[in-house]
A and B are shown apart, each in its own frame.
Chain A
Amino acid sequence: DTEVTQTPKHLVMGMTNKKSLKCEQHMGHRAMYWYKQKAKKPPELMFVYSYEKLSINESVPSRFSPECPNSSLLNLHLHALQPEDSALYLCASSPLLRGPSNEQFFGPGTRLTVL
């Protein structure tokens, strides 16, 4: 199994809603990532988990809350988002956070619209 899955594919939410994005991989990778991608821009790193511990937080607002319950699963909890948070949210995984063989494998993304 060489894929990263993300659910849901599309999400529309109001500014007062609470929702969660889910990412799963079964490749035995120990590093997992959340990226945000606006239209016509490259992905921007948000969070990195290594061995289920938060390793990097790129100064992301607290309305985004990541969680890594186990080595295969990564969640992103959303609360009180703003319309400018509308974007494609990509999850990725790599064998390790640091090492010679760490190409990141990406999921298909969740397209989020905040009304």
Chain B
Amino acid sequence: AQKVTQAQTEISVVEKEDVTLDCVYETRDTTYYLFWYKQPPSGELVFLIRRNSFDEQNEISGRYSWNFQKSTSSFNFTITASQVVDSAVYFCALSPGNYGGSQGNLIFGKGTKLSVKP
């Protein structure tokens, strides 16, 4: 079965706090792709990162960082020094793959609503 679990439904922090959003996935594929998307109140889903199953290097982009651990099937997302503009719903997604490429469909987690208060 292919599945993405975001156990945290809602998180509330105060500005400048660090916050980690958890994502656990299930797949039998040896090749797969993981994504994080941000959905602010305006509704548009904003692509943040793609990671393939062969690349376990952690990634940092400004205040954002991602920790991919195949051993625990997790792909967690950390925001350092959070800001009010980070308030949004964050979705983790899995795209199963074969022959080295994704099949194209995205399996979304239920999302985590992050509220950053001033």
Other than the given A42-B109, A98-B104, A103-B50, 19 more pairs (CB < 8 A) read: A41-B111, A42-B108, A42-B110, A42-B111, A43-B45, A43-B108, A45-B105, A45-B106, A56-B105, A92-B45, A94-B104, A98-B101, A100-B33, A100-B52, A106-B45, A108-B42, A108-B43, A108-B44, A109-B44
Output the residue of B33, B44, B45 with the most chain A CB within 10 A. B45
Most central of A88, A104, A107 by chain B CB within 10 Å:
A104
What 0/1 pattern do residues 40 to 61 of A give for CB contact below 8 A with B? Answer: 1111010010100001100000
Count of chain B residues with a beta carbon within 8 Å of a chain A beta carbon: 24
Interface CB pairs A-B, < 8 A, 11: A42-B109, A42-B110, A43-B106, A43-B108, A88-B43, A92-B45, A98-B104, A100-B52, A104-B47, A108-B42, A111-B43
Instruction: Report if B68 contacts A (CB, 8 A).
Output: no
Any chain B CB within 8 A of the CB of A102?
yes
Q: Within the complex, what minimum Cβ distance (angstroms) separates B2 from chain A?
A: 13
Number of A-B contacts (CB under 8 A): 63
Known: A42-B109, A43-B108. A98 touches B47 (CB 8 A): no
A90 (CB) vs chain B CBs: closest residue? B45
Q: Are A99 and B102 in contact, CB atoms less than 8 angstroms apart? A: yes
- Judging by beta carbons under 8 Å apart, are A103 and B35 in contact? yes
Binding site for B on A (CB under 8 A): 31, 40-43, 45, 48, 50, 55-56, 88, 90, 92, 94, 96-109, 111
Residues of B80-116 contacting chain A, CB below 8 A: 91, 95, 100-106, 108-111
Chain B residue numbers with a CB within 8 Å of A100 are 33, 52, 100-102
